[in-house]
């Protein structure tokens, strides 16, 4: 196991009058509980199911089979984490909440604009708006799930709206293969056409906050030998 027992916390779960505990990495257990796909080997400090982890009292196999329908430690651990309680300290909770807030602010910064300037807000400005609006963050929900609600709250504080930009891109044949992966990764391809000379033409939809990253990466590959313009120009 890659998780130190010394820094592990207890995740606990009760069902049918029976109680079960496991030792887990606090941050990664919360990530799994939030819906992220985290391998169990990165979460568990010990691959054991306990009745009482502090006393080292292991749960019997018959009881595990009766309650969970399986003796598979990882399957049971996943149920305990996702449906039970992860016991984190006040300081751990504070740090995780700050990280969750920053994740949400980063998404909003990337995918929204200030309609007064048509430019993205910085992450710090969005975090400040979240503080002023007294936004409530759920530690156990993913950042993506909370974007819409947070955006609605901070619209009372700063001018902001979700936005997508459509770009027309034409890449010469010699760079098309390398550029295609970057374009697909950063934007949503709405139309693509491989031309007779092997060059790529496409129309993509991209958050405003990712435009600079896209331009920089494509220009680096092509040394500027590329056409990128907003649709309708």
The full set of domains in the chain, from first to last, is 9-86 (3.30.1250.10), 90-162 (1.10.10.900), 165-230 (3.30.70.240)
Tokens encoding 97: 């909440």
The pLDDT tens digits for 167-224 are: 999 999 999 999 999 999 988 999 999 999 999 999 999 988 788 889 999 999 999 9
The pLDDT tens digits for 113-161 are: 899 988 889 999 999 999 999 999 999 888 989 999 999 999 999 999 8
- Residue 176, CA distances (Å) to 82, 145, 169, 173, 195 in order: 43, 35, 11, 5, 11
* Distance separating the N- and C-terminal Cα atoms of the chain: 56
| Spatial separation of the C-alpha atoms in residues 200 and 46, rounded to whole Å | 51
Tell me what the mean pLDDT of segment 12-33 comes to. Answer: 92
pTM of the model: 0.70
DSSP states along 77-127? HHHHHHHSEE---HHHHHHHHHHHHHHHHHHHHHHEEBTTTTBPPPHHHHH
The pLDDT tens digits for 75-94 are: 999 999 999 999 998 998 99
């Amino acid at each position: 196991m890659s998780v130190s027992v010394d820094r592990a916390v207890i995740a606990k779960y009760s069902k049918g009058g029976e109680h079960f505990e496991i030792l887990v990495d606090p941050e990664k257990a919360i990530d799994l509980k939030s819906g992220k796909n985290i391998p169990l080997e990165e979460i568990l400090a010990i691959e054991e199911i306990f009745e009482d982890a502090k006393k080292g009292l292991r749960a019997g196999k018959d009881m595990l089979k009766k309650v969970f329908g399986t003796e598979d430690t990882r399957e049971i651990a996943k149920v305990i984490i996702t449906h039970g309680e992860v016991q984190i300290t006040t300081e751990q909770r504070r740090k995780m909440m700050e990280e969750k807030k920053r994740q949400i602010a980063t998404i909003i910064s990337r995918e929204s604009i200030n309609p007064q300037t048509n430019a993205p807000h910085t992450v710090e400005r969005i975090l400040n708006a979240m503080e002023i609006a007294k936004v409530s963050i759920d530690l156990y929900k993913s950042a993506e799930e909370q974007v819409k609600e947070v955006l609605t709250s901070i619209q009372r504080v700063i001018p902001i709206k979700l936005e997508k930009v459509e770009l027309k891109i034409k890449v010469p044949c010699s760079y098309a293969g390398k550029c295609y992966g970057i374009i697909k990764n950063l934007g949503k391809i709405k139309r693509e056409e491989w031309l007779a000379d092997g060059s790529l033409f496409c129309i993509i939809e991209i958050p405003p906050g990712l435009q600079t990253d896209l331009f920089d990466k494509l220009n680096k590959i092509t040394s500027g030998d590329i056409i990128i313009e907003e649709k309708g120009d």
